[in-house]
């Protein structure tokens, strides 16, 4: 296309770049933009905005900002979409303070943010659990004359629910209805999930009845929430009844549904029933995923069925299902329960070699294992690793080190842990 004569216009190039972006081939777009420049094809605001989007999608937000700088230097006026793309990129990297600053700068430059930009900001704030800021931001855009849609309100309602701020979530839900905005299935699912988690059966029933009154049908998400709630209460038989109702409504169980039952059976010690459920699932054309296998690995290790657990891991690998941090934690925990710290350490090292970063639970399991087997030097060595370059230690980390032995008397290095704990607690309070 570049070698055509006469040279295609920038509009034609932009159409091509847009098509390649839709195929998610972001690296190719970056390369093509460089070639366009070499062949003297001028970039316009759309080309550069596409390029910014590609850098953001590739996680190279700094390059995205360098393109914005280039636009301003060339006298190319950015659009709201340009800023929205960068704000979204920052939010995806949890750089919320920078996203808020860019939003303020956009307004300061005289740009009128649209609902897409505002929704992007709300999503970012909620994803990083900045609940208070999300609510304030929602109020701010309302004051600016915007009319948030149900998607924006659902984002905040869901965030409130996930932070157990149920009263505030219901207040906002009522406000939405008072404004004449019709709640949708997502609105109800957020609230039903929260009420089920808190065991508020009366409120759950009221929400389900309200859905019926408003001609809103339960979807697979609603049913899975209800099934999960009954299973967690030990009422698997009632959960089975819900599946029957669901199927009569023309909704088939999905992988989430099956995983809920598999998990419930395993927690009740009925591993054979869980395996039967997997067989039934496969007959329905649904293959197990990493979550399914993780449930089984934990269950087998908890019953000291080590070879069966290892067989499950082998099956995962044969089926090209990559073990995740949960899988590794299950295996490490299983070996620690069997006091096989050598094996646990090898799996911990393998996890890092495979590029799977241990989380604080991984470290806590290992530290607990070392403490239980009276290998305090190795426990403290691991603790120092966390302090240097690992995840932030939590109270479990410290309590494990302090409670397993009379640390203050028998292991002076634990005094250091105690001091660090105090410093961390003070820091967390004053942040």
List pLDDT tens digits, range 187-228. Answer: 999 999 999 999 999 999 999 999 999 999 999 999 999 999
**Distance (Å, whole) CA 367 – CA 349:** 14
The end-to-end CA distance of the chain, in Å, is 55
The pLDDT of residue 222? 98
Instruction: Indicate if the alpha-carbon torsion angle 157, 158, 161, 163 is positive or negative.
Output: negative
d(CA 264, CA 242): 15
In whole angstroms, what is the distance from residue 80 CA to residue 100 CA?
Answer: 15
Q: Which two tokens stand for residue 372?
A: 């239980």
Q: What are the start-end ranges of the H helices in 185-305?
A: 185-197, 201-213, 220-232, 236-248, 255-267, 271-283, 290-302
- Distance between CA atoms of 369 and 344, rounded to whole angstroms? 9
Identify the CA nearest to 193 among candidates 249, 232, 245, 151. 232
Distance separating alpha carbons of residues 344 and 111, to the nearest angstrom: 56
Within the chain, which residues score under 70 in pLDDT?
1-8, 404-431
3-state helix, strand, coil in the chain (%, to 5): 75, 0, 25
CA-wise closest residue to 313 among 361, 363, 253, 354: 354
Distance of alpha carbon 157 from alpha carbon 292, whole angstroms: 30
Mean predicted lDDT score pLDDT of the chain = 87
| pLDDT score for 288 | 95
The closest of 247, 251, 188 to 219, measured between CA atoms, is 251
For the chain, the structural domain boundaries read: 1-78, 359-431
Q: What is the per-residue pLDDT for 128? A: 83
CA 280 to CA 277: how far, in whole Å? 5
- Read off the DSSP letter of residue 145: T
């Amino acid at each position: 296309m570049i070698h055509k004569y006469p040279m295609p216009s920038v509009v034609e190039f932009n159409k091509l770049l847009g098509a390649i972006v839709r195929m998610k081939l972001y690296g190719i777009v970056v390369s093509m933009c460089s070639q366009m420049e070499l062949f003297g094809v001028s970039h316009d605001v759309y080309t550069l905005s596409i390029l910014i989007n590609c850098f953001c999608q590739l996680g190279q937000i700094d390059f995205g900002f360098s393109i914005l700088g280039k636009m301003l230097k060339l006298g190319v006026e950015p659009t709201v979409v340009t800023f929205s793309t960068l704000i979204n990129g920052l939010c995806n990297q949890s750089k919320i303070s920078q996203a808020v600053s860019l939003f303020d700068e956009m307004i300061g430059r005289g740009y009128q943010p649209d609902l897409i930009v505002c929704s992007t900001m709300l999503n970012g704030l909620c994803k990083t659990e900045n609940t208070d800021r999300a609510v304030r931001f929602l109020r701010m855009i309302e004051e600016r004359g915007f009319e948030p849609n149900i998607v924006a309100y659902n984002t905040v309602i869901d965030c409130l629910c996930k932070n157990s701020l149920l009263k505030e979530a219901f207040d906002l839900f009522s406000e939405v209805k008072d404004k004449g905005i019709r709640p949708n299935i997502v609105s109800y699912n957020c609230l039903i999930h929260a009420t089920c988690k808190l065991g508020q059966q009366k409120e759950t029933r009221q929400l389900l009845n309200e859905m019926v009154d408003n001609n809103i049908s339960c979807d697979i998400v609603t049913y899975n929430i209800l099934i999960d709630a009954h299973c967690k209460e030990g009422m698997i038989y009632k959960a089975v009844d819900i599946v029957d109702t669901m199927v009569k409504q023309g909704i088939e169980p999905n992988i989430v549904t099956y995983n809920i039952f598999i998990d419930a059976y395993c927690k009740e010690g009925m591993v054979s029933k869980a395996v039967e459920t997997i067989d039934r699932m496969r007959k329905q054309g649904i293959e197990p995923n990493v979550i399914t296998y993780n449930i089984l690995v934990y269950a087998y290790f908890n019953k000291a069925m080590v070879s069966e657990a290892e067989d499950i891991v082998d099956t995962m690998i044969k089926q090209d299902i990559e073990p995740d941090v949960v899988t590794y934690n299950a295996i490490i925990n299983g070996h620690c329960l069997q006091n096989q710290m050598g094996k646990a350490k090898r799996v911990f090292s393998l996890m890092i070699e495979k590029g799977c970063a241990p989380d604080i639970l991984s470290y806590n399991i290992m530290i607990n294992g070392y403490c239980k087997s009276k290998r305090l030097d190795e426990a403290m060595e691991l603790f120092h690793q966390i302090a240097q370059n690992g995840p932030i230690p939590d109270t479990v980390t410290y309590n494990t080190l302090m409670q397993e032995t009379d640390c203050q008397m028998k292991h002076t290095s634990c005094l250091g842990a105690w001091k660090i704990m105090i410093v961390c607690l003070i820091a967390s309070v004053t942040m």
